[in-house]
Amino acid sequence: MIETQELTLQVGPRLLVDRLDWRVAAGESWCVIGPNGAGKSTLLRTLAGLRQPDGGHVELAGKPLPAWPLPALARERAYLAQSRGDAFAYRVIETVLMARHPYHADRYWEGSDDHAAAEHALRTLDVLHLAQRDVRTLSGGERQRVAIAALLAQDTPLLLLDEPANALDLAHQVAMTNLLAGLCRNESRAVVSVGHDLNLAWSGATHALLLHGDGAWRAGPVHEVMRAGLLGACLGHPIAVIEHGGRTIFLPEAAPAADSIIRRVQ
């Protein structure tokens, strides 16, 4: 569905990703993992066509990304940014309906099909009851769920999400993770999602991409990539992987310095 060939990403003189050869197929859910500043958001913006690569190129459905007309691109991929600002008093339903704009080639106003898609997406994210609210009055978690609803209403085969669990409570984090996994499994969509919660990533993803922030990367199925040694080297902190009750649980190991501080306090 989307593929990178020798993709290189830089910020100033700093090399973030070096010659990434990577392919995301229909039905796959990828989690992108790495420390702060490793290039995760930069990669997602590049995949969305919002940033030019510093080397190599990106192909969407076999066609170079720059060759896609913008309306057609918006019908192929949807992008959830890490943060957003609401300057105007749009209602929630209007905010989600904006995501239907790529389907308005022959009309200006939205139709009944657009309203049905928007309401279905709001219902799926458990925010339909907020449809008439001003988006500026929502809590952080409510606003995030509305943003994900807009992503769903855009109805694209490829979803790019930058930290979708931001501001969500535990129940909605789990529901959102299950929702994205279900879209891949049942509708053959592809998902690329940035996140920091290893347990959410493991529960919802089929594949993982580790970005070290110095150009190094590693990609593959989660059971091959999300291993203690590989994760610890990537994140700069030792990770313990625990099997309990048929579940795999990821925990940061206590650093020696922290252990000694705790002992002194006790």
**Given the structure tokens 């990106």, which residue do they identify?**
58
For the stretch 22-54, what's the b/e string if a residue is b when 16 or more beta carbons lie within 10 angstroms of its beta carbon? Answer: bebeebbbbbbbbeeebbbbbbbbbbbbeeebe
* End-to-end Cα spacing for the chain: 55
Q: How far apart are CA 27 and CA 24, in angstroms?
A: 9
Check pLDDT > 50 for residue 229. yes
**What is the per-residue pLDDT for 127?**
97
Instruction: Find the DSSP H helices in 59-204.
Output: 70-74, 92-97, 112-124, 140-153, 170-187, 198-204
Which of 94, 161, 82 has its CA nearest to residue 131? 94
Reading the block at residue 8, the tokens are 């290189």
Check pLDDT > 90 for residue 192. yes
**What is the per-residue pLDDT for 256?**
60
Average pLDDT for residues 72-81, to the nearest whole number? Answer: 96
pLDDT band (50, 70, 90) for residue 83: confident
Instruction: Give the tens place of pLDDT for each residue, 217-228.
Output: 999 999 999 999
Radius of gyration of the chain (CA): 20
Question: Are 98 and 150 contacting, i.e. CB atoms less than 8 angstroms apart?
Answer: yes
Domains in the chain and their CATH numbers?
Answer: 1-76+157-225 (3.40.50.300), 84-155 (no CATH)
Q: Write the burial class of residue 189 (CB in 10 Å: 0-12 exposed, 13-18 middle, 19+ buried).
A: buried
**What is the per-residue pLDDT for 88?**
84
Beta strand 2-11 with 247-252 is unpaired
Instruction: Give the tens place of pLDDT for each residue, 238-264.
Output: 999 999 888 999 999 986 655 544 444
| Mean of all residue pLDDT scores within the chain | 92
Instruction: Give the tens place of pLDDT for each residue, 5-57.
Output: 999 999 999 999 999 999 999 999 999 999 999 999 999 999 999 999 999 99
Cβ-proximal residues to 94 (8 Å cutoff; 6+ apart), any chain: none
Which of 131, 81, 79 has its CA nearest to residue 102? 79
Reading the block at residue 220, the tokens are 């593959």
Average pLDDT for residues 58-79, to the nearest whole number? Answer: 95
Q: How far apart are CA 134 and CA 56, in angstroms?
A: 43
**What is the per-residue pLDDT for 45?**
97
Q: How far is CA 112 from the centre of its chain?
A: 29
Average pLDDT for residues 69-91, to the nearest whole number? Answer: 91
**What are the Cα distances from residue 156, in Å, to 2, 79, 144, 151?**
13, 10, 19, 8
Instruction: Find the DSSP H helices in 188-227.
Output: 198-204, 222-225
Whether the pTM exceeds 0.85: the reply is yes
